[in-house]
Amino acid sequence: MSCNSTLAPLALFLLALSTPAGATPLRDAGTGLTFEPPPGYSVSAVPTTGAQSARFALRRPEDQDTGCQIAYAPAPQNAQLTQPQINELTRTPGWQALARARLAPLYDVLEQSVFDQGGILGLKLVGDLRPREGLPARAQVLRSFFAIQETPRGRTTLVCVAEKPSFATRRAEFEALARSIVPPR
């Protein structure tokens, strides 16, 4: 059974559950990834890419090219580490620089900070897309919020995008979503 054919029933289930948030957290049955959408957001499963085994889009009704995506990818290399060991790595400037370097080809990273969510340390970053040929002019009015969490099972990544003028307001929603995520353990 392909991953996309597995996601289709899940997508229908999640769409049925996508009531105005503040409701019960949603849980991906295949991975255990759990999160609570911000009020007014709808949720849909979207096709995974690369190593991902779960991916969801979260949007307000007026979102066209803004909103959030949460993705989970197994990381077998993490299995030999405990959560406290992973947390210690997350605190190191080297690990943080590596996470930042992954974004650097596409983004000017404006801020970064470590956060603790239920005993799992993560890294939050905010960035603007770098101008480059072929990128629509609209990209320059958008700002992105990232939250990355590693566990012995894998990596959970949240990416949220908003227009720069409304980013400060929407950031509160993005932060609340990041705090609601329970990665697979």
- In the chain (185 residues long), the average pLDDT of successive 10-residue segments reads 38 39 78 94 95 96 95 96 97 96 96 95 96 92 97 97 96 95 93
Q: Is there a domain that residue 139 lies in?
A: yes
185 in a domain, yes or no? no
120 in any annotated domain? yes
The pLDDT of residue 84? 98
What per-residue confidence (pLDDT) applies to 4? Answer: 40
Amino acid at 63: D
- What does pTM read for this prediction? 0.86
Domain of residue 25, residue span = 3-180
Q: What is the CATH number of the domain that holds 47?
A: 3.40.1000.10
Q: Assess if residue 130 is contained within a domain.
A: yes
How confident is the model at residue 24, as a pLDDT? 77
> Does some domain include residue 112?
yes
Query: Residue 45 has what pLDDT?
Result: 95
In angstroms, the CA 182 to CA 27 distance is 9
Q: In 162-173, which positions are buried (b, 16+ CB within 10 angstroms) versus exposed (e)?
A: beeeebeebeeb
